[in-house]
Amino acid sequence: MQHIMIVTASTGGGHNSAVHYLKQSFEERGIFALTIDMFKATSKASNYVMQEGYNTLAEKAPKLYGTLYRWTNQKQLSDAVFSTLFTGTVFRLSYLLDKIEPKLLIATHPFAGKLIGHLKHKGRTNVPLMQIVTDFIPHNSYFHKNIDVYVVASEYSQNALIEMGVNKERIYTYGIPVKKSFYNRKERAFNEDKPLQLLIMGGSMGLSAIASVIRELISGKNRQHLTLTVVCGRNKELYDNLAKEYQEDICEGKIILHGFVDNVDELMESCDLIVSKPGGLTASEAILKSIPMIIPFYIPGQEHGNVEFLVEHNMAIEARDIEQLNSHLEQFIEHPELYRKMSKNMQQLNKTYSIDKIVDLGVQMMKDRKTPDA
């Protein structure tokens, strides 16, 4: 049986979710996919720093995280950081590749692609390497001249990589991998005469900002025209607080409360609008379902880029202040053509999205077993 290796790092839920769905899709074709959390498999210290550091900065010091993200988004600095910090990880990763001998490497995290690209540059492996870009505006750390192909979410992302020096022929706009059920596309119908169904999420981290979003929506004049489905993620404290504070609304069915769920596709199917932070995975799921987004919060850094992309391409509205939420909802209620236009834009973008095409590309790379010309 052919086997491949999918390499990631645990900084946010999107990278690991992409791994899971890719693994499923390859194994449906009879290709065994070994998944590796790069830092967890090679260095306890690096894993702790990367995972805990990301979670702490994203939740407790998001502005500092955003500053570090922008600071490292420079080629010279980015290369210097990687060559200095991850020498031990590179050595152990090289050992794993020699031991496992995969026929194809897929990176769903920029650090994974960069470090494997470094190994290819040094001649320590010649295995074909595919990089999945899990945000709409790629950080410089996604780039390495020895990455063979990139899979991105839009022509916008494609053009950003071309500016970094990647040949267009190496870039495929097949989208960020998500659960297969999301690819069952159908046109959205918007009935302005029915209550607006809102799906409120904070990503897999269950950001506490959800609480302030709900309070604002509950206090607005459109309250009687809304039904709120709230996903708290793994934030049990948030779930318990909301369950206590809105017990009456929950009993009346005005608020439907969830913790961490694995049926987001079904929840999206029954909603009209998504109110969420714009993680690459969540935004891709919304695009595939053609459901416009309202973005009341985001993690500075890659999610700021996602906001820029979604707003600029008229697929989302950014609520820069929580108090703007109700006025944005009124726009959709009073001008349903706005909803239909945004949904149509999403349909146009998602035409090239296909996890099956990603698998096809990987199979072809294994057949070719050579690096495309630079």
Three-class SS of residue 292?
coil
Torsion 301-305-308-311 (CA) sign: negative
Cα Rg of the chain, angstroms: 21
Structure tokens of 179? 């659960």
Candidate from 122-131, 181-190, 339-348, 352-361 with smallest mean pLDDT: 181-190
Token pair for 290 = 């053609």
pTM over 0.75: yes
Predicted pLDDT of residue 233: 83
Judged by average pLDDT, the poorest of 68-82, 168-182, 236-250, 334-348 is: 68-82
pLDDT in tens, 8-54: 887 665 667 889 999 999 999 999 999 998 877 666 766 666 666 66
pLDDT at site 49: 64
Contacts of 90 (CB under 8 A, 6+ apart): 115, 118, 119
76-123 pLDDT, tens digit per residue, is 667 667 767 777 788 888 999 999 999 999 999 998 999 999 999 999
Which residues are CB-neighbours of 243 under 8 A, at least 6 positions away? Answer: 250, 257
CA 260 – CA 236 distance, rounded (Å): 9
Delineate the domains of the chain, giving CATH numbers in brackets.
3-175+354-368 (3.40.50.2000), 182-351 (3.40.50.2000)
Burial of 193 (0-12, 13-18, 19+ CB in 10 A): exposed
- The pLDDT tens digits for 253-287 are 999 999 988 899 999 999 999 999 999 999 999 99
pLDDT at position 68:
81
What residues pair up with 196 in beta bridges, in sequence order? 226
Q: What does the block give as tokens for 92?
A: 């152990």
How much is the pLDDT for 371? 46
Own/partner contacts of 211-220, CB < 8 Å, gap of 24 or more, are 211/238, 211/241, 211/242, 212/322, 213/275, 213/296, 213/297, 213/322, 213/325, 214/242, 214/246, 214/255, 216/322, 216/323, 216/325, 216/326, 217/325, 217/326, 217/329, 218/246, 218/249, 220/325, 220/326, 220/329
User: In this model, does residue 373 exceed pLDDT 70?
Assistant: no
The three-state secondary structure class of 275 is strand
Question: Which range is most confident: 1-5, 201-205, 361-365?
Answer: 361-365
What is the rounded CA–CA span in Å between residue 166 and residue 23? 26
Q: How far apart are CA 188 and CA 315, in angstroms?
A: 14
Phi and psi at residue 230, to the nearest 5°: -115, 125
Q: Which of 188, 236, 220 is nearest to 338 (CA)?
A: 188
